[in-house]
Amino acid sequence: MAAVEETIDAVAAVTGSTYKWGFTTDIEMDIAPKGLNEDIIRLISARKEEPEWMLEYRLAAYAGWLKMEEPNWAMLKIAPIDYQDVHYYAAPKKPRPKSLADVDPALLEMYEKLGIPLREREVLAGVVGSDEEEGHRPPVAIDAVLDSVSVATTFRKNLAEVGVIFCPISDAIREHPDLVRQYLGSVVPKQDNYFAALNSAVFTDGSFVFIPKGVRCPMQLSTYFRINTQNTGQFERTLIIAEEGAQVSYLEGCTAPQRDENQLHAAVVELVAMADARIKYSTVQNWYPGDEDGLGGIYNFVTKRGDCRGARSKISWTQMETGSAITWKYPSCILRGDDSVGEFYSVAVTNHKQQADTGTKMIHIGRNTTSTIVSKGISAGQSNNTYRGLVKVRPQAAGARNFTQCDSLLIGNDCGAHTVPYIESRNPTARLEHEATTSKIDEDQLFYCRQRGLSQEDAVGMIVNGFCKDVLKELPMEFAVEATKLLAVSLEGSVG
C-alpha cells in the first residue's frame, strides 16, 4: 500500500474529535434576546454606556447592512444564515473581580483548561495587581474577551507608564473617545462589505491599542477570544494605531466550545501605521472547526485591513488558520506611504469538511512600496482550501515591488486546493512576481523519514512543518513553538 494511502487511512481512522478546546463552561451570563434590530443595537450601546455618536455609527452601519447582500464570490458553500436566530450580546453576570478570591471559579477553571500557564491565568482572570511581579518569561499583556465582553486586560498600568494604551475597545470608546472617533472606520468603512457592516452595527468588544509617537511597545500584546455561550455570535472589533516611529507586535488567539450548530463570528480589525511605524499582527485562529461530518463549527467572516499611512511604515500580517468550519478572510495592506512595506504570511489548514477562502490584498499607492506574500495551504479530508489574493499597482506607485509565493499541499483525494490570484498593474516601473504550486506530499520524502525511524504520522508532520517553515518563522518567538504544536495537532485531526 502506498505511503500516502496509508496516510489517508490514518486520517479516516481518526474519528473522535481531536479538538482539545471544545469543552463548555457554565458561567452565568447576561444574554440579550435573539435577533437583530435597532432595539438590540440600542441595548448593546446602552450596556456599554456608549456616547451618542457611537450609537449613531452603529445605526448607520445597520441601515447600510440591511440594503446589502452576502458576498457569494468566494469558493465556499455556506448554508443560509438566519441572522435573527443569534444572540448579539452575552456577558458574564458577575462584575469584574478585584482579587483572586473574587474570580468566578468557573472562569478560572475555563482558563486553566485552555492551557494558559498559572501566572498568566491569574492575570487572565482579571486579578488586579498580579501583573506586577512577572517571572522570567517574557511578559505578555493579555486582553481576554469572552463572548461579547472583555473580562480582563493585564499590564494596563505598566503600559500606560510609557504612554501605550491597551484596553478593551468598549473602555476606549468611553475613555478615549476622540482617538476612537478619529480612527474607527477610517480603514474599514462601516459599509465596506456585508460582514464589516454587520460588525460595525453590533460589535461588542475587542482590543484597542495606541502606541504614541516614537514608542516601541515594551511587551508583546495579545488578545484571547473565546466564544462560550450557545447561539451567540461574536463580533469583535480591534483597532491598533501606531503613531510615527512607533512599534508593536500583537497576537490574537481564538477558541470555542464544540457544538452541533454553527456559530457566527464576524470581526473587523483596523490597523493604522503612521510614518516609520511598524505593526506586526499575528493570528493563531483555532475556532472550533466542526466534527468530521461537518456538523457544527464557527463561521469565521473577518475583515482585516492595515493602512500604511506614513512613509516607510510597515504592516506585517502572519496568520495560522487551523480552525473554523468556514473561513472568509483577507488581511490586507493599503500601501499609501512612500517606501511602505506590506507582508502577508499565511498557513491555512483544512480537514474533514472545513472550507477556507483566504488570502490578502496588497494595494500599492505610494512610490517604491514593497509587498511580500507567502501562503501555504494544506487540504486534507473532504475540505476545500482556496488562496485568493489581489496585488494592485496604481498608476502613481512608481517602483512598486511584489513577490508572491503560494503553495498548496493535498493530503488525500477527496479535498480541493485552489489558487485565485488577481494581479493588476498600471505602472511600468513596478515589478511583480507570482509563483504558485500544487502537489501532494512527496513519497520519497515520506520514505526517507520513515527509513530513519519516524512513524508515518511524524514523518507527515515533519514534512508539513517544513512546508510551512517560511510562515512559522514569522510568528513571534513566544508563540512559534505553540503554533508548531497546533499545526501538529490539527494534522493529528487530519493525519493521525
* Binding footprint of another protein on the chain (CB under 8 A): 1-4, 73, 395, 408, 410-440, 442-445, 447-456, 458-459, 462-463, 465-470
Q: What are the φ/ψ torsions at residue 286 (nearest 5 degrees)?
A: -135, 40
Nearest-approach distance from CB 193 to another protein, in angstroms: 15
Angle 41-47-53 from CA coordinates, rounded to 5°: 60
Distance from C-alpha of 42 to C-alpha of 146, rounded to nearest angstrom:
21
Which residues, in sequence order, are CB contacts of 491 under 8 Å at separation 6+? 349, 351, 378, 380, 457, 460, 461, 464
User: Residue 449: which of 464, 468, 471, 469 has the closest Cα?
Assistant: 464
Q: Which is nearer to another protein, 113 or 473 (CB)?
A: 473
Q: Which is nearer to another protein, 100 or 420 (CB)?
A: 420
Nearest-approach distance from CB 444 to another protein, in angstroms: 5
Nearest-approach distance from CB 450 to another protein, in angstroms: 4
Strand partners, 348: 321, 377
Nearest-approach distance from CB 223 to another protein, in angstroms: 29
Nearest-approach distance from CB 386 to another protein, in angstroms: 9
Distance from C-alpha of 240 to C-alpha of 225, rounded to nearest angstrom:
16
Q: Which is nearer to another protein, 84 or 451 (CB)?
A: 451
Q: Which is nearer to another protein, 114 or 468 (CB)?
A: 468
User: Residue 460: which of 412, 414, 417 has the closest Cα?
Assistant: 412
Q: Which is nearer to another protein, 78 or 423 (CB)?
A: 423
Q: Which is nearer to another protein, 213 or 440 (CB)?
A: 440
Distance from C-alpha of 256 to C-alpha of 288, rounded to nearest angstrom:
5
Q: Which is nearer to another protein, 300 or 425 (CB)?
A: 425
Whether the CB-CB separation of 219 and 139 falls below 8 Å is answered with yes
Nearest-approach distance from CB 218 to another protein, in angstroms: 29
Nearest-approach distance from CB 213 to another protein, in angstroms: 36
Nearest-approach distance from CB 480 to another protein, in angstroms: 13
Give the three-state DSSP class for 41: helix
Rg (CA), the chain: 22
Q: Which is nearer to another protein, 182 or 439 (CB)?
A: 439
Among positive and negative, which fits the CA dihedral 110, 114, 120, 123? negative
Angle 141-328-203 from CA coordinates, rounded to 5°: 55
